Structure 1
Amino acid sequence: MSAPDPIRIYVDADACPVKDEVFRVAGRYGLHVYVVSNSFLNLPREPWIERVVVGDTFDAADDWIAERASPGAVVITADVPLASRCVKAGATALSPTGKAFTDASVGMALATRNLMQELREAGAVTGGPKPFSKSDRSAFLGALDRAIVRLRRERGMR
């Protein structure tokens, strides 16, 4: 029986507020991180952090990540349609606030996102999401650590 694929982290990075937290947790566990964006981002120079700059076409970063999402992958994104694609492929998907997207929750998250988009387009809702907070950052750190521990246990890793 062959060894399972290594755990990988994919970051939908253009507007991701938790890149430093991802690097800290990934460094602790020795995991490879793919930082995917439409433009050049300044990143730490570590052999386990890989910058991926995709074209500027609509959804290019999402498509690159979704094509690689599979069991053992952790995807960090606030993009609900991307999270849905990744969950369907068997990956673990987390929002920057630490919310886990699952088979059970991603359908409702998509419906809510679509409803809010329609309300914004109709002018009924003019505000955006609440500002990112310290408690969001803390919740994310805990969720990412738990996801990695769970994946390592499932794969028989210490």
Structure 2
Amino acid sequence: MHIWVDADACPAVIKDILFRVAERLQLNVTLVANQLIRVPGSRFIRALQVPAGPDATDAEIVERVSPGDIVVTGDIPLAALVLEKGGMPLNPRGDWYTKDTIAQQLTMRAFMEELRSGGVDTGGPSAFSQADRQHFANALDRELARRRSSAGPR
């Protein structure tokens, strides 16, 4: 299993959680971005810089993701593509995207884009909070614990 991070817009506190998880559980974590991302020196953590361009980061993640991999992203279209490949997309606020909810989320995203293009101020997402950080850490921890328990003893 690999954890991929859509790192361009990922909050620093979420990256820090992922860095600690990578070391503690010896999991591979790759941050993908079209800008240079600094990561701690670790054999489990790496950064991958992709060329600038629309959806270049998304395309790189989709190309590399394997079934069962976790992808941390707030990008709903990317989450939909990850689900199609058998990956598990997780929002930085700690909500899993699922096959049961992704269509509704894509529809709402398109609706909000339509409102914005018509000049309606829809506001943005709420500020990232300590509760969001905790919700993310708990969601990730539960999934990783579930995987460890289903894998059995090593």
TMscore range, shorter length: over 0.9
**Correspondence for 2:27:** 31
Give TM-score, length-normalised by structure 1.
0.90
Give TM-score, length-normalised by structure 2.
0.92
Q: d(CA) in 2 for partners of 1:71 and 1:153?
A: 19
Superposed displacement of residue 10, structure 1: 0.1
**Correspondence for 2:5:** 11
**Correspondence for 1:117:** 113
**Correspondence for 1:94:** 90
Gaps of 5+ in 1: 1-6
Superposed displacement of residue 25, structure 1: 1.8
Aligned CA distance change for structure 1 residues 67 and 143 (closer, same or farther; 3 Å)? same
Superposed displacement of residue 148, structure 1: 1.7
Superposed displacement of residue 154, structure 1: 4.4
Q: CA RMSD in A?
A: 1.4
**Correspondence for 1:107:** 103
Q: d(CA) in 1 for partners of 2:74 and 2:124?
A: 13
Superposed displacement of residue 147, structure 1: 1.9
8 Å CA contact 1:72, 1:151 repeated in 2: no
8 Å CA contact 2:71, 2:89 repeated in 1: yes
Which amino acid is the alignment partner of residue 104 of structure 2?
M
**Correspondence for 1:62:** 58
- Point out which structure has higher relative CO (alpha carbons under 8 A, 6+ apart): 1
What is the percentage of aligned positions where both structures have the same residue?
A: 43
Q: d(CA) in 1 for partners of 2:40 and 2:86?
A: 29
Q: d(CA) in 2 for partners of 1:37 and 1:102?
A: 24
Which amino acid is the alignment partner of residue 22 of structure 1?
L
Superposed displacement of residue 155, structure 1: 4.2
Q: d(CA) in 1 for partners of 2:101 and 2:92?
A: 16
Superposed displacement of residue 120, structure 1: 1.2
